[in-house]
Structure 1
Amino acid sequence: MWTELVLRSVPEQGDRPAVTDVRTGEVLTFAAFERRVTHAAAGLRRRGLRSGDRVVVDLPPGAALPLAVHSVAWAGGVVVCPNSEGDATARMMITQGKWSHVEGGEIRQVFTMEPTEGASPFSDLLRGQPWEFGPISGPAVDCGGRVLSDNELASALRDMAAREVVREGDVVLAAITDRPRLVRLIDLSLMVGAKVIIAHDPTLIGCRVLAEEHRATVVVANRDLARRMGLHPGRRILEEAVLSSRHASCA
């Protein structure tokens, strides 16, 4: 399955850093990412999520975004991109803090990364035992009215891995703000055993500093930024369009 494929490097990579969020300073290891996903999935199930239920995930680019996405997927839910047609049929929402109620929607439970009146902390979902087994197949993401299956998303990852967009041991600077593409890049990096540094509001100077500071071997950015980064020995500069796949794409 999709999330299982993303987590396949965890036994080998263990406590090595996997995702660094520059905005918050948070560093998640491979093992910690898996632990939070499986525990949050169990928490969602305890709160009533059932297979096929829709959950709006409205988070800014950062480490919390893929964590929430895969928690929902591992619990058997369908991740709904914000402001898409699937909003109205979602039962739950995961967001940063203060949220906008979905007009005419069916959302009954909201989980927030920041303490927010009227919502439950996402951290509460991490308590208790993990959810051991995710779904084998079925719908996984509803992005702008297009529903992508677990199999499509897994095939897209395998396609990018075969093209060696990211390789094992790479340090990847993610200088993109498109949320579906960011999740796809983090998925791929985790899958192959690479480390991701998530830039916040990426600028040319900021990316050059971060690339040097973290000794990035790969920088993935929008077309303009990628072209302005310039050549650097031992570093690949890729346009974010490289994350497109013939199997699955929301972007």
Structure 2
Amino acid sequence: MTWTELVMAAAPIQGDQPAVSDVRTGEVLSYAAFARRVTRAAAGLRAKGLRYGDHVLVNVPLGATLPVAVHAVAWAGGVAVLAASGAARMMIAQDHFDPAGVKVDQVFSFRPTPGARLFSELMTDGALEFGPLAGPALSLDGRRLFDNSELTTDLRNLATRLVIGKDDIVLSAVSEPLRGLRVIDLAMTSGAEVVVAHEPSVIGCRVLAQERGATVVVAPYELARRLLGDPVLRVVDERAVVSSLGL
């Protein structure tokens, strides 16, 4: 089972249950919608010329669209590079990009953007049923690569250590993209829901936790330290989700 396959594994059971809720935009991504968008966008990327091992720059903020973009690239056999500039076969952006800072063949964006095609155009050619069995899938800089087997094994180990259940609601107060992505991956592997906050204060975290019924919060060290002692919330330092990757 590859990295993306592991993250999508709960989709047949969880179906229309929320997977990722974005506080900033109000978007709610269900498990079924996640699997559908990933496999269809992966087919579109392949149809547009992406080949195994090709790099794709992904400059998308934390929220419901980031895991779709990253896992679509991985499912297509590419390497998702979490960067706003550099050289790659393609780029996926949210709503803007710097043409002078990138050297790519094609750009796709989730919102209308000059010089880019809409990401939705990728989802018109059916679905890619099977992803890669192995090979690199993720990078922060295009040089150090994390492969499917490494990411899958680490995600399984992380799930064993942190024990997120399908009935948990995880409040992600993480701001760094890779750490935020790992929180989403971890929660989805367990069938839980992630509520993505955006640099909340201590009070903001507590209010959101109460409003959303959160049971777990993943936060930067200082914020996590100040949230400790809450009788309802289990608090996790964000460093715990990437430490085993050497980050």
TM-score (norm 1): 0.93
Return the alpha-carbon distance in structure 2 between the equivalents of residues 102 and 74 of structure 1: 29
**Which consecutive residues of structure 1, in runs of 5 or more, have no partner in the other structure?**
none
Q: How does 1:59-208 map to 2 (within 5 A)?
A: 59-82=60-83, 87-88=86-87, 90-101=88-99, 103=101, 106-144=103-141, 145-208=143-206
- 1:26 corresponds in structure 2 to 27
Contact 2:55 2:81 in 1 (8 A): yes
Secondary structure at the counterpart of residue 72 of structure 2: helix
Q: Which stretch shifts more, 141-150 or 62-71?
A: 141-150
Contact 2:84 2:97 in 1 (8 A): no
Contact 1:156 1:245 in 2 (8 A): no
Return the alpha-carbon distance in structure 1 between the equivalents of residues 229 and 121 of structure 2: 45
Deviations 1:191-244 (A, max 9, x none): 111110000232222211110000100000001111112422232011101212
Return the alpha-carbon distance in structure 2 between the equivalents of residues 168 and 77 of structure 1: 30
- 2:54 corresponds in structure 1 to 53
Contact 2:77 2:132 in 1 (8 A): yes
Return the alpha-carbon distance in structure 1 between the equivalents of residues 147 and 228 of structure 2: 38
Counterpart of 2:119 in structure 1: which amino acid?
F
Return the alpha-carbon distance in structure 2 between the equivalents of residues 44 and 107 of structure 1: 14
Counterpart of 2:93 in structure 1: which amino acid?
T
- 2:38 corresponds in structure 1 to 37
TM-score (norm 2): 0.94
Contact 2:44 2:123 in 1 (8 A): yes
Contact 2:58 2:84 in 1 (8 A): no
Q: Tell me by how many angstroms 1:134 deviates.
A: 0.2
Return the alpha-carbon distance in structure 1 between the equivalents of residues 124 and 231 of structure 2: 46
- 1:102–1:189 CA distance, 2 compared to 1 (3 A): farther
Return the alpha-carbon distance in structure 1 between the equivalents of residues 201 and 129 of structure 2: 40
Secondary structure at the counterpart of residue 99 of structure 2: coil
Counterpart of 2:204 in structure 1: which amino acid?
G
Matched pairs, number: 245
Return the alpha-carbon distance in structure 1 between the equivalents of residues 163 and 222 of structure 2: 19
Percent identity over the alignment is 51
Return the alpha-carbon distance in structure 2 between the equivalents of residues 188 and 60 of structure 1: 18
Counterpart of 1:32 in structure 2: which amino acid?
A
**Which consecutive residues of structure 2, in runs of 5 or more, have no partner in the other structure?**
none
Contact 1:171 1:195 in 2 (8 A): yes
Secondary structure at the counterpart of residue 163 of structure 1: helix
Return the alpha-carbon distance in structure 1 between the equivalents of residues 130 and 114 of structure 2: 33
The one of 220, 241, 244 equivalent to 2:242 is: 244
Secondary structure at the counterpart of residue 139 of structure 2: strand
Contact 1:165 1:242 in 2 (8 A): no
Return the alpha-carbon distance in structure 2 between the equivalents of residues 190 and 184 of structure 1: 10
Counterpart of 2:195 in structure 1: which amino acid?
I
Contact 1:45 1:75 in 2 (8 A): yes
